[in-house]
Structure 1
């Protein structure tokens, strides 16, 4: 699950029965208060990393869908959830596994148990192929286990200084997603780069930065299993995160490409000299 805080905003005198449920940054909350002219309002921040949230989901009537890269792991998780199910769900298979190599009969049974209004399945543990092209109604939360959070950026972004974003001419100077200048029709990519985008690149730890961005101060906000990220804060770890270890193909490295080209040039030159001498 993502390391974010879910914030609920209860609007006071203007709309007694209205509420906003959202993942939102603090500066947006100030805009909401100002534009809606709120006189009374409250903010409740709840971390997504709540212990026993999955097995206690019946209290808030949630339906989950998990996607895994490994069918065996999906089966193990489904068994674990059933073994730790609330008493009212014991023996009902409220968590089921689902992957393409199952028999058509079992696939249909699992699908119906999860999609029908009175179905017994509340948590479906499926392989990643099930996550595309199939519509499951009334799913409240989707979790992708095994996915990588990858930030791609161009090299010139590291030449930008954070001080460039302290432009007092901007009306939204406290907005972390602000550009460093007022955008115009012909503004380029550099002008469009937000402060938060640059901060996410420069941050020593991406997980810690995301927690700070969303105001998540829970004790579990920095918890992780094997690796956190490849930020500078983790370079001294015994088993650091290396993206290449999770990919089948080789990541293209510009510097290595240059070395190979230089070697080819040298070999061609040597070969030409040999040919001339013959």
Structure 2
């Protein structure tokens, strides 16, 4: 059972095709085993929490289905993420008191965990530019999955990242957004482009739609933007990384400043000896918010899961914290094969070292702009002697530069770059320069001019149109500013033209 809504009538009062069959006796007699996939949804989606209505109440209705199926049908609940509270809900709705429990570790040893406090708002698109490789190269761009529980923000972030791509890659689907309001055709294409090994989509910005039950083959980085509603959602989303490829993955939680400023004294934790795993009672509701009565207008600070708030503090080992939340006591519960377990061990972990781009820092950006403005304001005009020498150099430059770049090695030497840089870019730049030189030489050749499409008989008509346009422009200017002011303006313009001519000809 993956979609329990099929058993019940819709809001319009209709049953699905499956529902019409499921309630008939011939079908019911054939059922021997009922398996609930992603059974933690019974707790997270099927029940109301803290005054908020259930998101998918059909999960709570599975106990009705259990009665209809009868006592001879065996029920199994499958989930990789269930806290103590979630397990109690699963037991109450679908399991029998004497059920058999089989548990393997839910630890993903090849995923490294980190948290990052973004500057400003979580929906500010600049915060996510760090997931684009710099300089951009499609072949080396990491596949990144960004989760954000806000459809407008999902679209804005995707469009912003797409605008940062080189012009040739924009609008081609390298960056896509994904949410339930898009058409089925678009969603299928976006999903295939992202999950197919040869798909062009490298960054997918999605709501929770892509967080469970989907094997993404080669996602290297998962970003959870904003605090999830519970720790199970966090582990489900983070678990989308490196599912079918070798190597290491990164799961990073982006949060706003307020998450680190929430007073933990409101959370009933024993903080006498500081914040430690032993100070937390994991048998209680680890995801309880600081306000136990919520409504649709409650602030994010009041809605925030205590477990997810703790993850932003960088005090507790995130892997050990997940193991405690999921009651994972297996031998490999806290094993890791990554360079670092997480960012909470006071080691030399630096998130910047594991991102393809640079973390957004508005302070540095503002300082650099101030420096640029200061430099501009201090600029002095060059003397006439210096300008003349500069003109001579500029005139000499285009006449001597062509045909000096013949290979990628020439580019490396001219730009004083490294050999590794040259392997990636030099041959491409050399090709562009070579093509430009060839075109430039061609259009300057007598053969090209002789064979051009220019019809000399048409030039008289062209000049006549130009004179007519100029006359009408002069008449319009005189009507606006008057004849006297117009003549003064023309004299000033002639003076500037004469000065420019003297500079060029050295007269």
- TM-score, with normalisation over the residues of structure 1? 0.50
Distance 2:101 2:71 in 1: 16
Counterpart in the other structure of 2:319: 207
Distance 1:230 1:36 in 2: 36
Counterpart in the other structure of 2:78: 21
Counterpart in the other structure of 2:470: none
Residue 43 of structure 1: SS of its match in structure 2?
A: coil
Aligned-pair Cα RMSD in Å: 4.5
CA distance change for structure 1 residues 244 and 236 in 2, over 3 Å: closer, same or farther?
closer
Counterpart in the other structure of 1:256: 364
CA distance change for structure 1 residues 264 and 201 in 2, over 3 Å: closer, same or farther?
same
Contact 1:207–1:228 at 8 Å: present in 2 too?
no
Contact 1:7–1:46 at 8 Å: present in 2 too?
no
**Aligned length in residues:** 181
CA distance change for structure 1 residues 228 and 221 in 2, over 3 Å: closer, same or farther?
farther
Counterpart in the other structure of 1:180: 290
CA distance change for structure 1 residues 176 and 48 in 2, over 3 Å: closer, same or farther?
closer
Aligned-residue offset at 1:36:
5.6
Distance 2:333 2:198 in 1: 26
Aligned-residue offset at 1:148:
2.0
Distance 2:197 2:331 in 1: 31
Q: How does 1:56-205 map to 2 (within 5 A)?
A: 127=197, 129=199, 143-145=243-245, 146-166=248-268, 174-181=284-291, 182-204=293-315, 205=317
CA distance change for structure 1 residues 14 and 199 in 2, over 3 Å: closer, same or farther?
farther
Structure 2 portions without partners, runs of 5+: 1-37, 41-65, 109-137, 141-195, 203-212, 217-242, 270-282, 382-507
Contact 1:165–1:195 at 8 Å: present in 2 too?
yes
Greater Rg, structure 1 or structure 2?
2
Aligned-residue offset at 1:14:
5.3
Deviations 1:54-105 (CA, angstroms, capped at 9, x unpaired)? xxxxxxxxxxxxxxx999xxxxxxxxxxxxxxxxxxxxxxxxxxxxxxxxxx
Residue 259 of structure 1: SS of its match in structure 2?
A: helix
Of Structure 1 and Structure 2, the greater strand share is in 1
Structure 1 portions without partners, runs of 5+: 1-5, 51-68, 72-125, 133-138, 168-172
Residue 253 of structure 2: SS of its match in structure 1?
A: coil
Counterpart in the other structure of 1:82: none
Aligned-residue offset at 1:245:
2.7
Larger relative contact order (CA 8 Å, sep ≥ 6) = 1
Distance 1:161 1:48 in 2: 30
Deviations 1:212-235 (CA, angstroms, capped at 9, x unpaired)? 2212222222222232355231x3
Counterpart in the other structure of 1:271: 378
Aligned-residue offset at 1:244:
2.4
